[in-house]
């Protein structure tokens, strides 16, 4: 079994921190549980990065290198490159992934 190295982009770490800070305002226990659950899901990427689905909004335009983990209302988008898994962002599922991905890839500020 191949072990992959999971690398978090700074922007993905920032996304997760912002989500947890926002949840913590209402309930610190919920924030802790969401953080632990998202990290636990991402830990599976070490061994099984292809376990999760290709991002459907991108798949329909023939872009297959981006995958996602869905946990409750959040999406963790990543791509596999060789022996590395790059976590690109964590986003509320109501956000448009195509737009966010283009913003991140082109280094545009989030709107």
Look up the domain containing 38 and give its range.
5-105
Residue 12 within any structural domain of the chain: yes
pLDDT value of position 23? 94
- How far apart (Å, rounded) are the C-alpha atoms in residues 36 and 34? 6
Name the token pair of 5: 């190295």
CATH of the domain at 36: 3.30.2310.20
Give the pTM.
Answer: 0.83
- Is pLDDT of 111 > 50? no
- How far apart (Å, rounded) are the C-alpha atoms in residues 27 and 21? 10
Structural domains in the chain (count): 1
pLDDT digits (tens, 9 = 90+) for 55-79: 888 788 888 888 999 999 899 999 9
Residue 111 within any structural domain of the chain: no
Q: DSSP character for 73?
A: T
Residue 27 within any structural domain of the chain: yes
Enumerate residues 6+ apart whose C-beta is below 8 A from 22.
Answer: none
- Is pLDDT of 51 > 50? yes
| Beta pairing partners, 81 | 84
pLDDT value of position 92? 83
- Is pLDDT of 26 > 90? yes
């Amino acid at each position: 079994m191949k072990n992959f190295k999971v690398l978090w982009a700074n922007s993905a770490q920032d996304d997760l921190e912002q989500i947890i800070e926002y949840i913590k305002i209402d309930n610190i226990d919920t924030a802790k549980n969401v953080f632990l659950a998202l990290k636990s899901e991402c830990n599976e990427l070490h061994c099984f990065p292809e376990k999760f689905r290709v991002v459907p909004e991108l798949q329909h335009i023939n872009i297959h290198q981006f995958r996602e983990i869905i946990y409750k209302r959040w999406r963790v988008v990543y791509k596999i490159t060789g022996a590395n898994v790059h976590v690109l962002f964590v986003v509320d599922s109501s956000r448009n992934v195509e737009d966010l991905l283009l913003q991140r890839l082109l280094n545009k500020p989030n709107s």
